[in-house]
Amino acid sequence: MTIQVFGHKSPDTDSTGSPVAWAWYLSEIRGEDAKPVLLGQPNTEAAFMLERWGIDMPEIVEDVAEGQAVYIVDTNNPAELPASINKADIRGIVDHHKLTGGLETKGPIEIRVEPLACTATILYKMMGKDIAQAPTSVKGAMLTAILSDTLEFRSPTTTQEDEAIAHGLAKDLGVDIKAYAEEMFAAKSDVSAFSDAELLRMDSKEYEVDGTQLRVSVLETTAPSQILDRKEDLKAAMPKVASEDGAHEVLLFVVDILKEEATLIVPNDRVKQIAEASFDVSVDGDTVVLPGVMSRKKQIMPVLKA
């Protein structure tokens, strides 16, 4: 049976590139039969990566069949995985997020989690010397994933290992990191094709904070005005998205990659209270700028109070 390698349901660059890289490793180095699949449409940066490195668009699957062999990368959270995930034959997990609980396996499997910025960095370490055999497309996907997750080393999640491995891959590929990251971020910043609801869900995760269900959306961009110009429409779309997704509120953080700050959209009093309680700011109007805030994992989730 072919092992399906996948990330989470909102395929960003890491959740698209890491399955591509790991399916290569499982197939070509470990001699297993594996292929990357996606659990949703890749975001614009991930689509750029596939195009740039000549990688076939992976098949998109909705759910997994009972007994389907799967290898999970970039999440360990059942809420971000297919509904039937615990009926699948989970062969392994490689991730860099907090342990959520809820995934169960029948026997011991390979699990590797490290507090690094990017799953692809962990995969690179696991590949060891075999990375030398990887085709350009695999190396390119891994480099793109690391530059994406670290926001070209700006994010506070960045570690020395992420940075060193990205530099090694870039050198090997003959890629100028600065110029390439600009191209990537331009692709990510072009959100004109997305509806307001799609934008609110694109890079979002659901959390319960103090009994309040929040959809925490983070849009990383080098062109924040492209999103903020749609502020009124986005605010108007929030109640419907929240209600459809079983959340009380949608928190939309627009991260300016170059200025290294986030703008939180504040559609109502409850979000205003959340913002003031969480970020030590006073909110005046329907946006608030949070200097230095770039990482949901490190700077938003740990401080949210509802």
> For residues 231 and 298, which CB has a smaller minimum distance to its own copies in the complex?
298
> For residues 115 and 135, which CB has a smaller minimum distance to its own copies in the complex?
115
CA 287 from centroid of its chain's CA atoms: 24
Determine, following the binding rule CB under 8 A, whether residue 84 of this chain makes contact with its own copies. Answer: no
Using the contact rule CB under 8 A, the part of the chain among 34-42, 95-103, 147-155, 268-276 near its own copies is 95-103
Q: Which residues does 187 contact at the CB level (< 8 Å), separation at least 6? A: 44, 45, 47, 48
Q: What are phi and psi of 208, to 5 degrees?
A: -105, 120
> For residues 114 and 286, which CB has a smaller minimum distance to its own copies in the complex?
114
Terminal-to-terminal C-alpha distance of the chain: 46
Applying CB under 8 A, among 8, 9, 96, 205 the residue interacting with its own copies is 96
Q: What are phi and psi of 54, to 5 degrees?
A: 65, 40
Least distance (Å) between residue 109 CB and its own copies = 6
Residues numbered 269 to 298 that lie near its own copies (CB under 8 A) are: 297-298
Residues numbered 99 to 138 that lie near its own copies (CB under 8 A) are: 99-116
Least distance (Å) between residue 76 CB and its own copies = 9
Query: Helix 160-173 and helix 119-127: axis angle, to 10°?
Result: 70
Torsion sign over Cα 223, 224, 226, 227: positive
Least distance (Å) between residue 111 CB and its own copies = 4
Q: What is the 3-state secondary structure (H, E, C) of 197-223?
A: HHHHHHCEEEEEECCEEEEEEEEEECC
DSSP 57: P
∠ at Cα 102 (98, 104), nearest 5°? Answer: 110
Task: Find out whether 263 and 224 touch, Cβ atoms under 8 Å.
Answer: yes
> For residues 26 and 175, which CB has a smaller minimum distance to its own copies in the complex?
26
Applying CB under 8 A, among 97, 125, 230, 259 the residue interacting with its own copies is 97
Least distance (Å) between residue 170 CB and its own copies = 25
DSSP string of 81-146?
A: S-TTGGGSEEEEEEE-S--------SS--EEEE-SSS-HHHHHHHHHGGGGGGS-HHHHHHHHHHH
> For residues 101 and 211, which CB has a smaller minimum distance to its own copies in the complex?
101
Per-residue string for binding with its own copies, 9-48, x by CB under 8 A? ----------------------------------------
Least distance (Å) between residue 78 CB and its own copies = 9
Least distance (Å) between residue 72 CB and its own copies = 11
Using the contact rule CB under 8 A, the part of the chain among 55-63, 87-95, 258-266, 282-290 near its own copies is 87-95
> For residues 79 and 283, which CB has a smaller minimum distance to its own copies in the complex?
79
CA 37 – CA 15 distance, rounded (Å): 10
Least distance (Å) between residue 255 CB and its own copies = 19
Least distance (Å) between residue 107 CB and its own copies = 5
Q: How many other C-beta atoms lie within 10 A of the C-beta of residue 272?
A: 18
Residues at the contact surface with its own copies, assessed by CB under 8 A: 90, 93, 95-116, 297-298, 302
